[in-house]
A and B are shown apart, each in its own frame.
Chain A
Amino acid sequence: MSIILLLIRKIVFIILSFILYLFVLYLFPYPFSLINVFFAIATMHLFLNESFAVVWYILLVHFFVELYSTQPFGVIVFSAVISVLIMLWLYQHVFTNKSWYTAAGLVFCTLLIFRILYLVALFILSLFGYATMFSFSSIYYSFAWEICLTTVCSIVSHLILTKSFAELQRDRVRYI
């Protein structure tokens, strides 16, 4: 029973974070509508839980995103999963603490890797005719804004959540 309740809680959390993403996307003015809520939440999730649950979270929310995207199915999911696995590695080996600058660094690196993988995947698919190539110059600004604003958002959320969660005030990660 407790497992079922836990599962329901996780599903509700995923749906609510997707609705939050839509809220930011539709109601915030440009360029704030580009804030990638999922990666900001994923970073806090990683700091609080330090488990692979963050990979499941990213996989599922980006599966939802794929349902509303015109890009070939799989591009977003693969890019997101690979980038969050790299985020876990960075957290374990590079940024080994839970400070606000770690949150910023993790979000910055993860989003940068996510968008690079995304463009590479689209480029490869376009070679096989599954996608149409387009001008990159029109999207550089969007990606740059997305990365910068999401980084700022993660710093702000970290500073706010530090007041409520003692776990975020620890200097080192648990397994070290």
Chain B
Amino acid sequence: MYKIRRKTCILFLSIAAAVVIFHNLGWFASVEEVVRIVINPASDRLYQISTERVRKQRFSSFSELEQAYYNLEKDHVKNTIDYTKLLLLKEENDNLRKQLRYTTSSGVQYVGARVIGRDIEPIGSSIVINKGESSGLLPHYPVITHEGVLVGVVEQVHKHTALVRMINDNQSKIAATIINKKKSLGLVEGGFGISVHMNFIPQNEQIHIGDTVITSGLSEYIPHGLLIGFIEAVQKETYQPFQEAVINPIVPFDSIRLVSVAVPADKE
């Protein structure tokens, strides 16, 4: 039997406030770690099952699968040609650097991690990875997949796990560049479902559908050159100083299993 009184409400709100304060002071760290140790295996297993289902449901018919296969074959040939050209350019670049005795700044190390969970609220887009503070991770480090595609930024770090905010999260903001003549700069923001928007692109700069968008290197810890996606649509109003582009990310965010976190080499 209960009767709801003002004192009871104040008591419960005080307990909630105490929980928040103790968390911020770090007094609940060990309790939180125990909770994660208990919950993470279940989250990991359920997430693996969900990504398996997503992958199997990607094609609704055999002809769709066949078409996707042919497209992939074409892309493979094109990529092989591009890769060959890249190798030749790299060799030429290395030779030129040697001749100029050019020294590069300290590089980046990659810490591999497995995705063991994803966003737990309808409002966000995030994933949980199984590496944390003990592996040298810190907040704001970029998280990539497929050796060069940016998928998110480390948001919170715990002892053995970390929360990663994806680039399509509504609070994500990444400084980016478009691979066009003028290397237009802009800000990639999420919050629009699967796609992301690139805002603050100067109105007078020419951008086209299909242009590649990469990180500009102007955000702290995020190196230049990480692939974000391709421009799918351009939104331009003549009286506005900036134009917007809709970007189609390269990787599907609902079935990522393995990622790497770029850790600056001097931070290791």
Contacts and interface: CB of A to CB of B under 8 A. Distances in A.
Contacts of A27: 46, 49-50, 53
A27 to B, nearest CB: 6
Contacts of A23: 46
Given A50-B2, A138-B191, A175-B1, A69 B124 contact: yes
Contacts of A175: 1-3
B170 A139 contact: yes
Interface stretch (B8-16, B201-209, B223-231, B235-243): B8-16
Contacts of B2: 50-52, 88, 92, 175
A124 interface: no
A103 B13 CA distance: 24
A81 B10 CA distance: 11
Interface residues of B, number: 48
Interface string A63-75: 1111111110110
B39 interface: yes
Nearest to B164: A70
Given A132-B171, A139-B123, A175-B2, A70 B156 contact: yes
A143 interface: yes
B145 interface: no
Residues of A contacting B: mostly: helix
Interface residues of A, number: 46
B42 to A, nearest CB: 5
Contacts of B8: 52
Interface in B1-38: 1-4, 8-9, 12-13, 15-17, 19-20, 23-24, 32, 35-36, 38
B143 interface: no
Contacts of B122: 34, 139, 142-143, 145-146
B192 interface: yes
A142 B123 contact: yes
- Residue in B2, B43, B49 whose Cβ sees the most chain A Cβ within 10 Å: B2
B123 A15 contact: no
B4 A85 contact: yes
Contact of A65 (B120, B163, B173, B191): B120
- Residue in A88, A134, A145 whose Cβ sees the most chain B Cβ within 10 Å: A134
Contacts of B261: none
Contacts of B118: 26
Interface in A123-176: 131-132, 134-135, 138-139, 142-143, 145-146, 174-175
B1 A22 contact: no
Given A92-B3, A139-B123, A78 B16 contact: yes
A4 B156 CA distance: 34
A82 B49 CA distance: 35
A121 to B, nearest CB: 11
B169 interface: yes
B155 A138 contact: no
A19 interface: yes
B219 to A, nearest CB: 14
B165 A85 contact: no
A77 B46 contact: no
Given A26-B117, A135-B192, A143-B122, 13 more contacts: A15-B39, A26-B49, A27-B49, A50-B1, A51-B2, A52-B2, A64-B35, A65-B120, A74-B23, A78-B17, A135-B170, A142-B122, A146-B122
26 contacts: A22-B39, A22-B117, A22-B120, A25-B120, A26-B47, A51-B1, A51-B2, A64-B35, A65-B120, A66-B23, A68-B163, A70-B169, A71-B123, A73-B24, A74-B20, A77-B20, A78-B17, A81-B13, A82-B13, A85-B4, A88-B2, A135-B191, A138-B191, A138-B192, A139-B122, A174-B1
